[in-house]
Protein backbone atom coordinates (compact mmCIF):
# COMPACT_ATOMS: atom_id res chain seq x y z
CA UNK A 1 0.00 0.00 0.00
CA UNK A 2 2.80 2.44 -0.80
CA UNK A 3 2.18 5.38 -3.07
CA UNK A 4 4.48 7.25 -5.41
CA UNK A 5 4.47 10.92 -4.41
CA UNK A 6 5.37 13.79 -6.71
CA UNK A 7 5.62 17.51 -5.99
CA UNK A 8 4.58 19.41 -9.11
CA UNK A 9 5.33 23.14 -9.42
CA UNK A 10 2.52 25.13 -10.97
CA UNK A 11 3.14 27.81 -13.58
CA UNK A 12 1.41 31.13 -13.91
CA UNK A 13 0.45 30.06 -17.43
CA UNK A 14 -1.43 27.03 -16.06
CA UNK A 15 -4.24 29.43 -15.26
CA UNK A 16 -6.92 30.08 -17.82
CA UNK A 17 -9.09 33.16 -18.25
CA UNK A 18 -11.06 32.20 -15.14
CA UNK A 19 -7.93 32.58 -13.01
CA UNK A 20 -7.77 28.91 -11.95
CA UNK A 21 -5.58 26.08 -13.22
CA UNK A 22 -7.27 25.03 -16.47
CA UNK A 23 -9.05 21.66 -16.36
CA UNK A 24 -7.18 20.36 -19.42
CA UNK A 25 -3.88 21.24 -17.77
CA UNK A 26 -4.52 18.74 -14.98
CA UNK A 27 -3.69 15.97 -17.47
CA UNK A 28 -0.31 17.61 -18.00
CA UNK A 29 0.31 17.69 -14.24
CA UNK A 30 -0.67 14.02 -13.95
CA UNK A 31 1.57 13.32 -16.94
CA UNK A 32 4.51 14.81 -15.05
CA UNK A 33 3.94 12.42 -12.15
CA UNK A 34 3.61 9.48 -14.54
CA UNK A 35 6.80 10.47 -16.36
CA UNK A 36 8.65 10.75 -13.05
CA UNK A 37 7.66 7.20 -12.14
CA UNK A 38 7.50 5.39 -15.48
CA UNK A 39 10.44 7.09 -17.19
CA UNK A 40 12.89 8.30 -14.56
CA UNK A 41 11.98 5.83 -11.82
CA UNK A 42 11.88 2.86 -14.17
CA UNK A 43 15.15 3.88 -15.85
CA UNK A 44 16.82 3.85 -12.44
CA UNK A 45 15.58 0.27 -12.17
CA UNK A 46 17.05 -0.56 -15.57
CA UNK A 47 13.73 -0.52 -17.45
CA UNK A 48 13.33 1.79 -20.44
CA UNK A 49 10.48 0.00 -22.17
CA UNK A 50 7.78 1.85 -20.18
CA UNK A 51 9.06 5.14 -21.52
CA UNK A 52 8.56 4.59 -25.21
CA UNK A 53 6.55 1.41 -25.26
CA UNK A 54 3.31 2.43 -23.55
CA UNK A 55 0.29 4.26 -24.95
CA UNK A 56 -2.62 5.87 -23.13
CA UNK A 57 -5.95 4.21 -23.92
CA UNK A 58 -8.16 6.19 -21.54
CA UNK A 59 -8.18 8.96 -18.93
CA UNK A 60 -10.84 9.72 -16.33
CA UNK A 61 -10.53 12.88 -14.24
CA UNK A 62 -12.75 14.16 -11.46
CA UNK A 63 -12.50 17.80 -10.42
CA UNK A 64 -13.39 18.32 -6.78
CA UNK A 65 -12.30 21.92 -6.24
CA UNK A 66 -10.55 24.66 -8.22
CA UNK A 67 -6.75 24.90 -7.95
CA UNK A 68 -5.16 28.33 -7.83
CA UNK A 69 -1.69 29.34 -8.90
CA UNK A 70 0.74 29.25 -5.99
CA UNK A 71 2.53 26.52 -4.08
CA UNK A 72 3.34 23.23 -5.81
CA UNK A 73 0.63 20.60 -5.75
CA UNK A 74 1.29 17.07 -4.53
CA UNK A 75 0.29 14.14 -6.71
CA UNK A 76 -0.06 10.68 -5.19
CA UNK A 77 0.04 7.85 -7.68
CA UNK A 78 -0.40 4.10 -7.52
CA UNK A 79 -1.40 1.10 -9.63
CA UNK A 80 -5.06 0.09 -9.53
CA UNK A 81 -4.76 -2.94 -11.74
CA UNK A 82 -2.03 -4.88 -13.56
CA UNK A 83 -3.10 -7.21 -16.35
CA UNK A 84 -1.05 -8.96 -19.02
CA UNK A 85 -1.85 -6.38 -21.65
CA UNK A 86 -2.77 -3.25 -19.72
CA UNK A 87 -2.36 -1.52 -16.38
CA UNK A 88 -4.37 1.18 -14.67
CA UNK A 89 -2.77 4.09 -12.85
CA UNK A 90 -4.67 5.95 -10.11
CA UNK A 91 -3.88 9.48 -8.93
CA UNK A 92 -4.92 12.04 -6.38
CA UNK A 93 -3.89 15.69 -6.62
CA UNK A 94 -3.60 17.65 -3.37
CA UNK A 95 -3.60 21.42 -3.11
CA UNK A 96 -2.64 22.75 0.32
CA UNK A 97 -3.13 19.25 1.69
CA UNK A 98 -6.70 18.89 0.42
CA UNK A 99 -7.59 16.55 -2.45
CA UNK A 100 -8.65 18.69 -5.42
CA UNK A 101 -8.82 16.06 -8.16
CA UNK A 102 -8.71 12.32 -8.76
CA UNK A 103 -7.83 10.54 -11.98
CA UNK A 104 -7.24 7.18 -13.58
CA UNK A 105 -5.27 6.28 -16.72
CA UNK A 106 -5.52 3.04 -18.66
CA UNK A 107 -2.08 2.29 -20.12
CA UNK A 108 -1.35 -0.26 -22.82
CA UNK A 109 2.13 -1.73 -23.46
CA UNK A 110 2.84 -1.26 -27.13
CA UNK A 111 5.29 -2.73 -29.60
CA UNK A 112 6.19 0.35 -31.61
CA UNK A 113 8.16 -1.56 -34.22
CA UNK A 114 5.33 -4.01 -34.88
CA UNK A 115 2.69 -1.30 -34.38
CA UNK A 116 0.50 -3.33 -32.03
CA UNK A 117 -0.23 -3.92 -28.34
CA UNK A 118 2.09 -6.26 -26.53
CA UNK A 119 2.20 -7.97 -23.11
CA UNK A 120 3.97 -6.54 -20.09
CA UNK A 121 7.43 -8.00 -19.66
CA UNK A 122 8.32 -9.72 -16.39
CA UNK A 123 10.66 -6.87 -15.50
CA UNK A 124 7.92 -4.28 -16.08
CA UNK A 125 5.47 -6.24 -13.96
CA UNK A 126 8.02 -6.53 -11.18
CA UNK A 127 8.66 -2.78 -11.30
CA UNK A 128 4.95 -1.93 -11.17
CA UNK A 129 3.72 -4.48 -8.63
CA UNK A 130 4.97 -2.78 -5.42
CA UNK A 131 2.70 0.18 -6.26
CA UNK A 132 -0.40 -2.00 -6.65
CA UNK A 133 -3.18 -1.00 -4.30
CA UNK A 134 -6.58 -2.55 -3.84
CA UNK A 135 -9.02 0.10 -5.00
CA UNK A 136 -11.52 1.52 -2.60
CA UNK B 1 -30.55 13.21 -33.18
CA UNK B 2 -28.71 16.28 -34.45
CA UNK B 3 -25.08 16.85 -33.54
CA UNK B 4 -23.07 20.00 -33.18
CA UNK B 5 -20.10 19.77 -35.54
CA UNK B 6 -16.88 21.71 -35.14
CA UNK B 7 -13.79 21.83 -37.38
CA UNK B 8 -10.73 22.29 -35.19
CA UNK B 9 -7.39 23.30 -36.75
CA UNK B 10 -4.41 21.50 -35.28
CA UNK B 11 -1.18 23.30 -34.43
CA UNK B 12 2.33 22.05 -34.92
CA UNK B 13 2.82 22.58 -31.20
CA UNK B 14 0.00 20.13 -30.41
CA UNK B 15 2.50 17.38 -31.07
CA UNK B 16 4.60 16.06 -28.24
CA UNK B 17 8.03 14.44 -28.37
CA UNK B 18 6.47 11.30 -29.88
CA UNK B 19 5.36 13.27 -32.95
CA UNK B 20 1.62 12.78 -32.36
CA UNK B 21 -0.98 15.14 -30.89
CA UNK B 22 -0.39 14.90 -27.14
CA UNK B 23 -3.09 13.06 -25.20
CA UNK B 24 -3.59 15.94 -22.77
CA UNK B 25 -4.10 18.31 -25.70
CA UNK B 26 -7.23 16.43 -26.75
CA UNK B 27 -9.03 18.06 -23.81
CA UNK B 28 -8.10 21.44 -25.27
CA UNK B 29 -9.51 20.45 -28.66
CA UNK B 30 -12.74 19.24 -27.03
CA UNK B 31 -12.78 22.48 -25.04
CA UNK B 32 -12.74 24.45 -28.29
CA UNK B 33 -15.83 22.59 -29.51
CA UNK B 34 -17.58 23.13 -26.17
CA UNK B 35 -16.73 26.83 -26.21
CA UNK B 36 -18.06 27.14 -29.75
CA UNK B 37 -21.39 25.67 -28.68
CA UNK B 38 -21.80 26.82 -25.08
CA UNK B 39 -20.29 30.29 -25.42
CA UNK B 40 -20.67 31.49 -28.98
CA UNK B 41 -23.69 29.40 -29.93
CA UNK B 42 -25.52 30.11 -26.69
CA UNK B 43 -24.70 33.82 -26.89
CA UNK B 44 -26.33 33.94 -30.32
CA UNK B 45 -29.41 32.50 -28.62
CA UNK B 46 -29.25 35.20 -25.95
CA UNK B 47 -27.82 32.97 -23.22
CA UNK B 48 -24.57 33.99 -21.52
CA UNK B 49 -24.96 32.00 -18.31
CA UNK B 50 -23.41 28.83 -19.77
CA UNK B 51 -20.22 30.74 -20.48
CA UNK B 52 -19.27 31.78 -16.97
CA UNK B 53 -21.71 29.80 -14.89
CA UNK B 54 -20.68 26.21 -15.59
CA UNK B 55 -17.85 24.16 -14.10
CA UNK B 56 -16.41 20.84 -15.26
CA UNK B 57 -16.90 18.06 -12.72
CA UNK B 58 -15.47 15.17 -14.75
CA UNK B 59 -13.91 14.22 -18.07
CA UNK B 60 -13.56 10.77 -19.61
CA UNK B 61 -11.50 10.34 -22.78
CA UNK B 62 -10.85 7.24 -24.86
CA UNK B 63 -7.97 7.23 -27.31
CA UNK B 64 -8.61 4.94 -30.26
CA UNK B 65 -5.78 5.90 -32.60
CA UNK B 66 -2.97 8.48 -32.69
CA UNK B 67 -3.69 11.81 -34.39
CA UNK B 68 -0.97 13.39 -36.48
CA UNK B 69 -0.44 17.06 -37.26
CA UNK B 70 -2.07 18.04 -40.50
CA UNK B 71 -5.62 18.71 -41.62
CA UNK B 72 -8.17 19.99 -39.09
CA UNK B 73 -9.99 17.37 -37.07
CA UNK B 74 -13.77 17.25 -36.86
CA UNK B 75 -15.43 17.10 -33.46
CA UNK B 76 -19.04 15.96 -33.18
CA UNK B 77 -20.73 16.94 -29.96
CA UNK B 78 -24.11 16.25 -28.36
CA UNK B 79 -25.85 16.08 -24.99
CA UNK B 80 -25.99 12.66 -23.34
CA UNK B 81 -28.02 13.68 -20.35
CA UNK B 82 -29.74 16.81 -19.01
CA UNK B 83 -30.62 16.85 -15.31
CA UNK B 84 -31.70 19.74 -13.08
CA UNK B 85 -28.23 20.26 -11.67
CA UNK B 86 -25.88 18.78 -14.27
CA UNK B 87 -25.59 17.86 -17.91
CA UNK B 88 -23.32 15.47 -19.75
CA UNK B 89 -21.68 16.33 -23.06
CA UNK B 90 -20.57 13.57 -25.45
CA UNK B 91 -17.95 13.99 -28.18
CA UNK B 92 -16.30 12.12 -31.00
CA UNK B 93 -13.14 13.34 -32.69
CA UNK B 94 -12.60 12.37 -36.32
CA UNK B 95 -9.26 12.47 -38.11
CA UNK B 96 -9.50 11.98 -41.88
CA UNK B 97 -13.07 10.78 -41.39
CA UNK B 98 -12.15 8.04 -38.91
CA UNK B 99 -13.05 8.31 -35.21
CA UNK B 100 -9.81 8.70 -33.24
CA UNK B 101 -11.17 9.54 -29.80
CA UNK B 102 -14.38 9.68 -27.78
CA UNK B 103 -15.01 11.73 -24.67
CA UNK B 104 -17.62 12.75 -22.14
CA UNK B 105 -17.75 15.80 -19.85
CA UNK B 106 -19.94 16.19 -16.79
CA UNK B 107 -20.85 19.88 -16.49
CA UNK B 108 -22.37 21.53 -13.41
CA UNK B 109 -24.23 24.86 -13.52
CA UNK B 110 -22.63 27.07 -10.89
CA UNK B 111 -23.62 30.23 -9.10
CA UNK B 112 -20.29 32.05 -9.02
CA UNK B 113 -21.52 34.82 -6.73
CA UNK B 114 -22.88 32.39 -4.16
CA UNK B 115 -20.03 29.93 -4.76
CA UNK B 116 -22.22 26.85 -5.10
CA UNK B 117 -23.95 24.63 -7.68
CA UNK B 118 -27.24 25.85 -9.06
CA UNK B 119 -30.03 24.47 -11.23
CA UNK B 120 -30.22 24.88 -14.98
CA UNK B 121 -32.44 27.77 -15.98
CA UNK B 122 -35.36 27.13 -18.31
CA UNK B 123 -33.60 29.04 -21.09
CA UNK B 124 -30.46 26.94 -20.69
CA UNK B 125 -32.45 23.71 -20.78
CA UNK B 126 -34.28 24.87 -23.89
CA UNK B 127 -30.99 25.69 -25.56
CA UNK B 128 -29.44 22.32 -24.71
CA UNK B 129 -32.39 20.00 -25.33
CA UNK B 130 -32.27 19.89 -29.16
CA UNK B 131 -28.78 18.35 -28.88
CA UNK B 132 -29.95 15.58 -26.55
CA UNK B 133 -29.27 12.13 -27.94
CA UNK B 134 -30.07 8.74 -26.47
CA UNK B 135 -26.70 7.18 -25.75
CA UNK B 136 -25.65 4.07 -27.54
CA UNK C 1 6.79 42.64 -52.58
CA UNK C 2 4.44 39.72 -52.06
CA UNK C 3 3.65 38.47 -48.58
CA UNK C 4 2.66 35.07 -47.33
CA UNK C 5 -0.68 35.39 -45.54
CA UNK C 6 -1.96 32.97 -42.93
CA UNK C 7 -5.29 32.90 -41.08
CA UNK C 8 -4.72 31.54 -37.58
CA UNK C 9 -7.66 30.43 -35.44
CA UNK C 10 -7.36 31.42 -31.80
CA UNK C 11 -8.22 29.03 -29.00
CA UNK C 12 -9.98 29.86 -25.77
CA UNK C 13 -6.93 28.44 -23.98
CA UNK C 14 -4.68 31.03 -25.67
CA UNK C 15 -5.94 33.48 -23.08
CA UNK C 16 -4.10 33.84 -19.80
CA UNK C 17 -5.46 34.95 -16.44
CA UNK C 18 -5.70 38.54 -17.74
CA UNK C 19 -8.25 37.48 -20.34
CA UNK C 20 -6.06 38.32 -23.35
CA UNK C 21 -3.99 36.10 -25.62
CA UNK C 22 -0.84 35.42 -23.59
CA UNK C 23 2.31 37.16 -24.85
CA UNK C 24 4.28 33.90 -24.98
CA UNK C 25 1.54 32.34 -27.09
CA UNK C 26 2.19 34.84 -29.89
CA UNK C 27 5.35 32.86 -30.72
CA UNK C 28 3.17 29.79 -31.20
CA UNK C 29 0.88 31.69 -33.56
CA UNK C 30 3.88 32.96 -35.54
CA UNK C 31 5.22 29.41 -35.52
CA UNK C 32 2.02 28.21 -37.19
CA UNK C 33 2.50 30.73 -40.01
CA UNK C 34 6.15 29.72 -40.39
CA UNK C 35 5.23 26.02 -40.46
CA UNK C 36 2.59 26.70 -43.11
CA UNK C 37 5.17 28.36 -45.35
CA UNK C 38 8.40 26.51 -44.56
CA UNK C 39 6.97 23.02 -44.11
CA UNK C 40 3.75 22.72 -46.12
CA UNK C 41 4.51 25.37 -48.73
CA UNK C 42 8.08 24.21 -49.24
CA UNK C 43 7.02 20.57 -49.41
CA UNK C 44 4.63 21.44 -52.23
CA UNK C 45 7.66 22.89 -53.98
CA UNK C 46 9.60 19.66 -53.43
CA UNK C 47 11.74 21.02 -50.58
CA UNK C 48 11.74 19.18 -47.23
CA UNK C 49 15.05 20.44 -45.88
CA UNK C 50 13.53 23.61 -44.37
CA UNK C 51 11.27 21.47 -42.23
CA UNK C 52 13.85 19.57 -40.25
CA UNK C 53 17.03 21.36 -41.16
CA UNK C 54 16.48 24.84 -39.72
CA UNK C 55 16.90 26.08 -36.15
CA UNK C 56 15.74 29.34 -34.58
CA UNK C 57 18.62 31.53 -33.42
CA UNK C 58 16.61 34.57 -32.30
CA UNK C 59 13.11 36.00 -31.98
CA UNK C 60 12.08 39.63 -31.51
CA UNK C 61 8.43 40.44 -30.82
CA UNK C 62 6.74 43.79 -30.36
CA UNK C 63 3.31 43.94 -28.75
CA UNK C 64 1.28 46.90 -29.95
CA UNK C 65 -2.15 46.07 -28.55
CA UNK C 66 -3.80 43.22 -26.64
CA UNK C 67 -5.49 40.48 -28.67
CA UNK C 68 -8.75 39.02 -27.39
CA UNK C 69 -10.19 35.60 -28.03
CA UNK C 70 -12.54 35.60 -30.98
CA UNK C 71 -12.12 35.69 -34.74
CA UNK C 72 -8.96 34.25 -36.32
CA UNK C 73 -6.00 36.60 -36.58
CA UNK C 74 -4.20 37.19 -39.85
CA UNK C 75 -0.43 36.83 -39.98
CA UNK C 76 1.52 38.38 -42.83
CA UNK C 77 4.98 36.96 -43.32
CA UNK C 78 7.94 37.74 -45.55
CA UNK C 79 11.71 37.44 -45.76
CA UNK C 80 13.75 40.39 -44.51
CA UNK C 81 17.15 39.01 -45.37
CA UNK C 82 18.63 35.95 -47.07
CA UNK C 83 22.30 35.21 -46.44
CA UNK C 84 24.34 32.09 -47.16
CA UNK C 85 24.06 30.79 -43.63
CA UNK C 86 20.95 32.45 -42.21
CA UNK C 87 17.69 34.10 -43.17
CA UNK C 88 15.42 36.49 -41.33
CA UNK C 89 11.63 36.17 -41.33
CA UNK C 90 9.43 39.20 -40.66
CA UNK C 91 5.81 39.02 -39.49
CA UNK C 92 2.86 41.23 -38.70
CA UNK C 93 -0.17 39.96 -36.80
CA UNK C 94 -3.51 41.62 -37.52
CA UNK C 95 -6.54 41.45 -35.25
CA UNK C 96 -9.74 42.78 -36.83
CA UNK C 97 -7.63 44.35 -39.56
CA UNK C 98 -5.41 46.30 -37.15
CA UNK C 99 -1.76 45.36 -36.59
CA UNK C 100 -1.42 44.10 -33.02
CA UNK C 101 2.12 42.72 -33.07
CA UNK C 102 5.26 42.58 -35.19
CA UNK C 103 8.03 40.01 -35.00
CA UNK C 104 11.25 38.84 -36.57
CA UNK C 105 12.93 35.41 -36.46
CA UNK C 106 16.53 34.66 -37.32
CA UNK C 107 16.66 31.17 -38.83
CA UNK C 108 19.81 29.11 -39.35
CA UNK C 109 20.03 26.18 -41.79
CA UNK C 110 21.40 23.24 -39.84
CA UNK C 111 22.97 19.94 -40.72
CA UNK C 112 21.37 17.69 -38.12
CA UNK C 113 23.54 14.70 -38.95
CA UNK C 114 26.76 16.66 -38.62
CA UNK C 115 25.39 18.76 -35.76
CA UNK C 116 26.45 22.12 -37.17
CA UNK C 117 25.19 25.08 -39.22
CA UNK C 118 25.18 24.67 -42.97
CA UNK C 119 24.61 26.90 -46.00
CA UNK C 120 21.27 27.34 -47.71
CA UNK C 121 20.92 25.10 -50.74
CA UNK C 122 20.16 26.65 -54.11
CA UNK C 123 16.67 25.17 -54.04
CA UNK C 124 15.98 26.65 -50.61
CA UNK C 125 17.22 30.06 -51.72
CA UNK C 126 15.04 29.90 -54.82
CA UNK C 127 12.02 29.01 -52.70
CA UNK C 128 12.61 31.86 -50.24
CA UNK C 129 13.64 34.64 -52.61
CA UNK C 130 10.18 35.58 -53.99
CA UNK C 131 9.16 36.51 -50.41
CA UNK C 132 12.13 38.84 -49.92
CA UNK C 133 11.10 42.38 -49.11
CA UNK C 134 13.23 45.43 -48.50
CA UNK C 135 12.63 46.31 -44.85
CA UNK C 136 11.05 49.57 -43.92
CA UNK D 1 25.39 43.72 -9.37
CA UNK D 2 23.10 41.18 -7.71
CA UNK D 3 20.91 38.93 -9.81
CA UNK D 4 17.60 37.32 -9.09
CA UNK D 5 17.98 33.56 -9.51
CA UNK D 6 15.12 31.18 -10.24
CA UNK D 7 15.13 27.39 -10.56
CA UNK D 8 12.51 26.38 -13.11
CA UNK D 9 11.39 22.75 -13.39
CA UNK D 10 10.91 21.57 -16.94
CA UNK D 11 7.93 19.46 -17.99
CA UNK D 12 7.92 16.58 -20.40
CA UNK D 13 5.32 18.53 -22.40
CA UNK D 14 7.78 21.41 -22.88
CA UNK D 15 9.34 19.32 -25.61
CA UNK D 16 8.10 19.65 -29.15
CA UNK D 17 8.20 17.07 -31.93
CA UNK D 18 11.97 17.60 -32.27
CA UNK D 19 12.49 16.31 -28.73
CA UNK D 20 13.87 19.60 -27.35
CA UNK D 21 12.22 22.30 -25.27
CA UNK D 22 10.18 24.27 -27.81
CA UNK D 23 11.51 27.75 -28.61
CA UNK D 24 8.17 29.42 -27.85
CA UNK D 25 8.11 27.72 -24.44
CA UNK D 26 11.24 29.62 -23.38
CA UNK D 27 9.05 32.72 -23.00
CA UNK D 28 6.92 30.77 -20.54
CA UNK D 29 9.99 29.78 -18.55
CA UNK D 30 11.19 33.40 -18.51
CA UNK D 31 7.67 34.42 -17.52
CA UNK D 32 7.89 32.14 -14.47
CA UNK D 33 11.07 33.89 -13.34
CA UNK D 34 9.49 37.32 -13.91
CA UNK D 35 6.37 36.30 -11.99
CA UNK D 36 8.51 35.03 -9.11
CA UNK D 37 10.23 38.40 -8.86
CA UNK D 38 7.57 40.91 -9.90
CA UNK D 39 4.56 39.21 -8.32
CA UNK D 40 5.70 37.13 -5.38
CA UNK D 41 8.89 39.03 -4.56
CA UNK D 42 7.24 42.44 -4.91
CA UNK D 43 4.22 41.33 -2.90
CA UNK D 44 6.53 40.38 -0.05
CA UNK D 45 7.83 43.97 -0.26
CA UNK D 46 4.27 45.31 -0.09
CA UNK D 47 4.00 46.15 -3.79
CA UNK D 48 1.18 44.64 -5.83
CA UNK D 49 1.11 47.16 -8.66
CA UNK D 50 3.77 45.33 -10.70
CA UNK D 51 1.55 42.27 -10.80
CA UNK D 52 -1.46 43.67 -12.57
CA UNK D 53 -0.18 47.06 -13.70
CA UNK D 54 2.56 46.14 -16.14
CA UNK D 55 2.33 45.11 -19.79
CA UNK D 56 4.98 43.57 -22.04
CA UNK D 57 5.93 45.81 -24.96
CA UNK D 58 8.70 43.68 -26.44
CA UNK D 59 10.64 40.46 -26.04
CA UNK D 60 14.00 39.52 -27.57
CA UNK D 61 15.30 35.96 -27.18
CA UNK D 62 18.54 34.41 -28.36
CA UNK D 63 18.84 30.65 -28.53
CA UNK D 64 22.39 29.47 -28.02
CA UNK D 65 21.91 25.72 -27.63
CA UNK D 66 18.99 23.28 -27.45
CA UNK D 67 17.59 22.45 -24.01
CA UNK D 68 16.55 18.88 -23.30
CA UNK D 69 13.97 17.65 -20.84
CA UNK D 70 15.55 16.75 -17.52
CA UNK D 71 16.88 18.70 -14.56
CA UNK D 72 15.46 22.14 -13.77
CA UNK D 73 17.02 25.06 -15.60
CA UNK D 74 18.34 28.09 -13.76
CA UNK D 75 17.24 31.55 -14.85
CA UNK D 76 19.24 34.60 -13.81
CA UNK D 77 17.36 37.86 -14.06
CA UNK D 78 18.24 41.52 -13.56
CA UNK D 79 17.20 45.03 -14.63
CA UNK D 80 18.98 46.49 -17.63
CA UNK D 81 17.30 49.87 -17.55
CA UNK D 82 14.80 51.76 -15.40
CA UNK D 83 13.11 54.78 -16.94
CA UNK D 84 10.09 56.77 -15.75
CA UNK D 85 7.70 54.97 -18.07
CA UNK D 86 9.39 51.65 -18.83
CA UNK D 87 11.95 49.18 -17.55
CA UNK D 88 13.95 46.49 -19.27
CA UNK D 89 14.48 43.03 -17.77
CA UNK D 90 17.47 40.90 -18.80
CA UNK D 91 17.69 37.14 -18.41
CA UNK D 92 20.05 34.23 -18.93
CA UNK D 93 18.88 30.63 -18.91
CA UNK D 94 21.37 27.98 -17.80
CA UNK D 95 21.08 24.28 -18.53
CA UNK D 96 23.55 22.10 -16.63
CA UNK D 97 25.48 25.25 -15.76
CA UNK D 98 25.91 26.37 -19.37
CA UNK D 99 24.05 29.40 -20.76
CA UNK D 100 21.55 28.15 -23.34
CA UNK D 101 19.54 31.31 -23.99
CA UNK D 102 19.50 35.03 -23.29
CA UNK D 103 16.48 37.33 -23.37
CA UNK D 104 15.29 40.84 -22.73
CA UNK D 105 11.77 42.13 -21.98
CA UNK D 106 10.60 45.71 -22.24
CA UNK D 107 7.95 46.27 -19.58
CA UNK D 108 5.59 49.24 -19.42
CA UNK D 109 3.74 50.30 -16.25
CA UNK D 110 0.09 50.56 -17.15
CA UNK D 111 -2.94 52.18 -15.60
CA UNK D 112 -5.56 49.52 -16.26
CA UNK D 113 -8.47 51.68 -15.09
CA UNK D 114 -7.50 54.57 -17.35
CA UNK D 115 -6.32 52.24 -20.12
CA UNK D 116 -3.00 53.97 -20.72
CA UNK D 117 0.68 53.83 -19.78
CA UNK D 118 1.66 55.37 -16.47
CA UNK D 119 4.89 56.25 -14.65
CA UNK D 120 6.65 53.95 -12.24
CA UNK D 121 5.76 54.77 -8.63
CA UNK D 122 8.54 55.58 -6.19
CA UNK D 123 7.94 52.29 -4.38
CA UNK D 124 8.21 50.33 -7.62
CA UNK D 125 11.44 52.09 -8.55
CA UNK D 126 12.86 51.38 -5.13
CA UNK D 127 11.96 47.72 -5.43
CA UNK D 128 13.54 47.39 -8.88
CA UNK D 129 16.70 49.47 -8.42
CA UNK D 130 18.80 46.93 -6.44
CA UNK D 131 18.58 44.59 -9.43
CA UNK D 132 19.87 47.20 -11.88
CA UNK D 133 23.01 46.13 -13.67
CA UNK D 134 25.10 47.98 -16.21
CA UNK D 135 24.70 46.00 -19.40
CA UNK D 136 27.68 44.37 -20.99
Q: Is the pLDDT of residue C136 over 70?
A: no
What is the DSSP-derived secondary structure letter of residue A114? T
Which residues on A lie below 8 Å from C22 (Cβ)? Answer: 13
- Residue D39 has what pLDDT? 84
Distance CA C48, CA C64 (A): 34
Nearest residue on chain C to A68, alpha-carbon basis: C17
Please check whether residue D17 is in contact with residue D50, taking contact to mean a CB–CB distance below 8 angstroms: no
Please check whether residue D71 is in contact with residue D111, taking contact to mean a CB–CB distance below 8 angstroms: no
Is B16 part of the contact surface with chain D (CB cutoff 8 Å)? yes
Nearest residue on chain C to D66, alpha-carbon basis: C55
Please check whether residue D78 is in contact with residue D131, taking contact to mean a CB–CB distance below 8 angstroms: yes
Using CB atoms, pick whichever of A11, A13, A35 lies closest to residue D12.
A35
DSSP D51-86: HHSEEEEEEEEEE-S---SSSPEEEEEEEEEEETTE
Please give the radius of gyration of chain A, using alpha carbons only, rounded to the nearest integer: 15
What is the DSSP-derived secondary structure letter of residue C66? -
- Residue B2 has what pLDDT? 83
Using CB atoms, pick whichever of D27, D55, D62 lies closest to residue C27.
D27
Is B65 part of the contact surface with chain A (CB cutoff 8 Å)? no
- Residue A49 has what pLDDT? 86
Is C61 part of the contact surface with chain D (CB cutoff 8 Å)? yes
Q: Is the pLDDT of residue C13 over 80?
A: yes
Please check whether residue B111 is in contact with residue B118, taking contact to mean a CB–CB distance below 8 angstroms: yes
Which residues on C lie below 8 Å from A24 (Cβ)? Answer: 13
Is C32 part of the contact surface with chain B (CB cutoff 8 Å)? yes
- Residue A135 has what pLDDT? 54
Which residues on B lie below 8 Å from C31 (Cβ)? Answer: 11-13
Q: What is the pLDDT of residues C19-31, one digit of tens each?
A: 999 999 999 999 9
Using CB atoms, pick whichever of A12, A28, A32 lies closest to residue D35.
A12
Q: Measured between alpha carbons, how far is residue A25 from residues A5, A62, A98, C117, D25 in Å?
A: 19, 13, 19, 36, 15
Please check whether residue A110 is in contact with residue A50, taking contact to mean a CB–CB distance below 8 angstroms: no
What is the DSSP-derived secondary structure letter of residue B20? S
Nearest residue on chain A to C14, alpha-carbon basis: A16
Please check whether residue D10 is in contact with residue D20, taking contact to mean a CB–CB distance below 8 angstroms: no
Is B121 part of the contact surface with chain A (CB cutoff 8 Å)? no
Please name the chains neighbouring D, where neighbouring means 3+ C-beta pairs under 8 angstroms. Answer: A, B, C
**Averaged pLDDT of chain D:** 93
Q: What is the pLDDT of residues D22-60, one digit of tens each?
A: 999 999 999 999 999 988 888 888 998 888 889 999 999
The two beta strands, B54-63 and A98-111, are: unpaired
- Residue B113 has what pLDDT? 84
Residues in chain B with pLDDT values less than 50: none
Mean pLDDT of C80-98: 97
Which residues on D lie below 8 Å from A22 (Cβ)? Answer: none
Is A18 part of the contact surface with chain D (CB cutoff 8 Å)? no
- Residue D86 has what pLDDT? 97
Q: Is the pLDDT of residue C135 over 70?
A: no
Q: Look at B13 and D19 and tell me if their CB atoms are within 8 Å.
A: no
Q: Measured between alpha carbons, how far is residue A60 from residues A100, A101, C53 in Å?
A: 14, 11, 39
Using CB atoms, pick whichever of B12, B19, B22 lies closest to residue D13.
B22
Q: Look at D19 and B17 and tell me if their CB atoms are within 8 Å.
A: yes
How many B/D residue pairs have CB atoms within 8 Å?
22
- Residue A1 has what pLDDT? 60
Q: Is the pLDDT of residue D136 over 60?
A: no
- Residue C51 has what pLDDT? 83
Distance CA C44, CA C24 (A): 30
Q: What is the pLDDT of residues D62-92, one digit of tens each?
A: 999 999 999 999 999 999 999 999 999 999 9
Q: Kindly tell me the sign of the dihedral angle through the C-alpha atoms of D106, D111, D114, D118.
A: negative
Beta bridge partners, B89, equal B79, B105
How many residues are recorded in chain A? 136
Q: What is the pLDDT of residues A69-85, one digit of tens each?
A: 999 999 999 999 999 99
CA angle, corner B61, sides to A27 and B66, nearest 5?
Answer: 90
Which domains are present in chain D?
Answer: 4-131 (3.10.129.10)
What is the DSSP-derived secondary structure letter of residue D110? E
Nearest residue on chain B to C25, alpha-carbon basis: B13
Q: Which of D63, D93, D101 to probe by mutation at the C interface, max C CB count within 10 Å?
A: D63
Q: Look at D17 and B12 and tell me if their CB atoms are within 8 Å.
A: yes
- Residue D1 has what pLDDT? 60
Cβ-proximal residues to A73 (8 Å cutoff; 6+ apart), any chain: A7, A8, A10, A29, A67, A93, A94, A95, A100
Is D63 part of the contact surface with chain A (CB cutoff 8 Å)? no
Q: What is the pLDDT of residues C106-132, one digit of tens each?
A: 999 998 888 899 999 999 999 999 999
Which residues on A lie below 8 Å from B52 (Cβ)? Answer: 18
Please check whether residue C74 is in contact with residue C11, taking contact to mean a CB–CB distance below 8 angstroms: no
Q: What is the ipTM of this complex?
A: 0.93
Q: Kindly tell me the sign of the dihedral angle through the C-alpha atoms of C20, C91, C61, B13.
A: positive
Which residues on C lie below 8 Å from A13 (Cβ)? Answer: 16, 22, 24
- Residue A45 has what pLDDT? 87
Predicted confidence band of residue C45 (pLDDT cuts 50, 70, 90): confident
Q: Measured between alpha carbons, how far is residue B7 from residues B4, B35, B69, D56 in Å?
A: 10, 13, 14, 33
Buried b (16+ CB within 10 A) or exposed e, D96-108: eeeebbbbbbbbb
- Residue B76 has what pLDDT? 98
Minimal C-alpha gap between A29 and chain D (Å): 9
Amino acid sequence: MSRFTYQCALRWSDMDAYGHVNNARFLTLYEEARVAMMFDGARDAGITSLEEGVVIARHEIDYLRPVDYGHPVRIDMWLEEIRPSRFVVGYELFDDGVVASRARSVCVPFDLAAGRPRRLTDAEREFLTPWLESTS
